[in-house]
Structure 1
């Protein structure tokens, strides 16, 4: 078995273990545990541990802060909406300027989700916040254990901690303002049109906001392509195969193993593989066991699609207005990678 195949197999096993742990704990959204395990997994053991720790810390801080804010401002729609927008604006800025960008991203995105729940279903805010922390922790724990137990040849890669320069900070501020506008758009559309899975729409739109506004449409289209590939495959499994735990487990592991080949390829289309795995997980993992209905799956996939559409339209408008250009007027490439939520 090659090193790449070993990495893909460990990733698939980590996701499967994360789901089983989340199901054992009777958590509402076990697919978040699987996604956490997938995002944290990698060839560099030091990164797996540090990224996992930052993911948990950011999630706990975001959930706690948002829960207490939602409790204090309960029933105040406008105030909570302002907090949601402010959280995203601050999170996007720190994402591109802070050495602990991943923790900031998770804290602000998670806090936004908790506040979103407080707007829609106030009575579920506390349970959602607790479950979210446990789901993320389950995924991170699974990824770390699989890495420590099954990777006999760990590697260590030096992380780039170069401070953000003035140009990067300027683009980060543009991205933060753009994120706030996107969030206002989502809140207004949800308020008047009752969007399907608005939380998924918010996550999709915000995690893909690039440092260089107006030049991030490729990643949006890659996300949509991967969603169609992974989602359709998962739906086919759900519809045509029996809800048997053993069969489901084997197909879950196999699907992650196959799609993660592109994710770990390092090629320009690697994000297609990333999104294919995420969409596959969201279709294959629902409720308290193997999926028996496609309705919640279709809602989440619809949320991803709408989030991508909003982001693409926003990017095109931002490009027309001249956002995302360097101080000399020419476009630049992103200097820091996006941290997925």
Structure 2
């Protein structure tokens, strides 16, 4: 869009409506892990229709690639922890380097995230591993489709009332990044994934997966120093992610007894929670990441596998996994920053 910023409706009500619609569709289709559809709908929504479509395309493409790699490698390596663990760390390391160095970095991020999620499922008792990998991608498609539909409807309404340019933002050309710096920056991510993959492969700890996803998300920061030194950005993200997740957990656990097995009330609460977090993103720009993590964590613990039956233990496990991931990353990130020579 040129010149004008769009009215706040697309950035405030759009994500909440997209999440609500995505969850309804996922439930109607009987999908497991419908929270992933809700999260996809939330994070794909951008300032205009084209930007949302572009981000959604990258999310679907990256998820499909990550799921395909894990689908091939998971069953072959799952029974062999001594190979499975370093392989997880290596692929994550390479994927994080790609996410901060190359264009279409968001697709790289989703490829790594989906790879980790599906690989972790390969070491569990899941007898329908292929179906899990497929559903993971379908949830992304559902969430992205819901987002695009809502974004299109909002843009149609806005065009009737505002002189909005039809020329949308094109992806900005990425500043050249020092590959050596990216290698060092991504190293803690690979180490954390390998470290957490060990317990996951031995004891099949599902919550550890959230710690792995947290590690990947926190490390994806600009390396060209546009917003500050990368190490300070990473540490700030850790604190804001913890704050957002803890607040979301507290709110969700207060709501569980009041709305369990009441679909309409659950949808209203879900919409209100996402809307509150989205408004906070625009009202408190310095805490934008914390507000975004509040929404993501709220969806993650509030929307569970199927329907509106609440499993508080599962919700608590997901939050605990996030905290474990941040704590592990903090220690290893500090160690790498201290002992690994930085590029000149």
Q: Confirm or deny that 1:200 pairs with 2:218.
A: no
Kindly provide the CA deviation profile for residues 281-303 of structure 1, in whole angstroms up to 9, marking residues without a partner as x: 11221132223331110110111
TM-score, reference length from structure 2: 0.87
The one of 102, 105, 108 equivalent to 1:101 is 105
Q: Structure 1: how far apart are the matches of 2:113 and 2:199?
A: 19
User: Counterparts of 1:164 and 1:222 in 2: how far apart (Å)?
Assistant: 28
Give the C-alpha shift of residue 162 in structure 1: 2.6
Counterparts of 1:220 and 1:47, CA distance in 2: 27
Paired residues, what number?
A: 323
Does 2:311 align with 1:293? yes
**Mapped contact 1:214–1:317 kept (Cα < 8 A):** no
Shift in Å at residue 322 of structure 1? 5.9
Structure 1, unmatched stretches of 5+, are 328-341
The more displaced of 151-160 and 55-64 is: 151-160
Give the TM-score taking structure 1 as reference length.
0.87
Residues 139 and 315 of structure 1: CA distance in aligned 2, closer, same or farther (over 3 Å): same
Aligned to 1:225: 243
- Whether 1:14 aligns to 2:9 is no
Q: Which residue of 1 aligns with 2:51?
A: 47
Match of 1:307 in 2: 325
Q: Partners in 1 of 2:242 and 2:122 — Cα distance?
A: 29
Q: Give the whole-Å Cα distance in 1 for the aligned partners of 2:48 and 2:238.
A: 27
Once the two structures are superposed, the pairs formed by residues 47-86 of structure 1 within 5 Å of their partners are 47-73=51-77, 75-86=79-90
Question: Measured at CA, do residues 183 and 74 of structure 1 come closer, stay the same or move farther in structure 2, by a change above 3 Å?
Answer: closer
Distance in structure 2 (CA, Å) of the matches to 1:186 and 1:3: 43
The offset of 1:265, in angstroms, is 4.7
- DSSP 3-state at the match of 2:286: coil
Separation in structure 2 between the aligned mates of residue 20 and residue 110 of structure 1, nearest angstrom: 22
Larger deviation: 118-127 or 177-186? 118-127
> Could you say which residue in structure 1 is the equivalent of 2:337?
319
Q: 2:18·2:41 contact (CA, 8 Å) conserved in 1?
A: yes
Given that residues 208 and 220 in structure 1 are in contact (C-alpha distance below 8 angstroms), is that contact kept between their aligned partners in structure 2?
yes
What are the ranges of 5 or more consecutive residues in structure 2 without an aligned counterpart? 1-5, 159-163, 224-228
**Are residue 235 (structure 1) and residue 253 (structure 2) matched?**
yes
RMSD: 2.2
1:162 aligns with 2:174: yes
Return the match for 2:41 from 37, 40, 59: 37
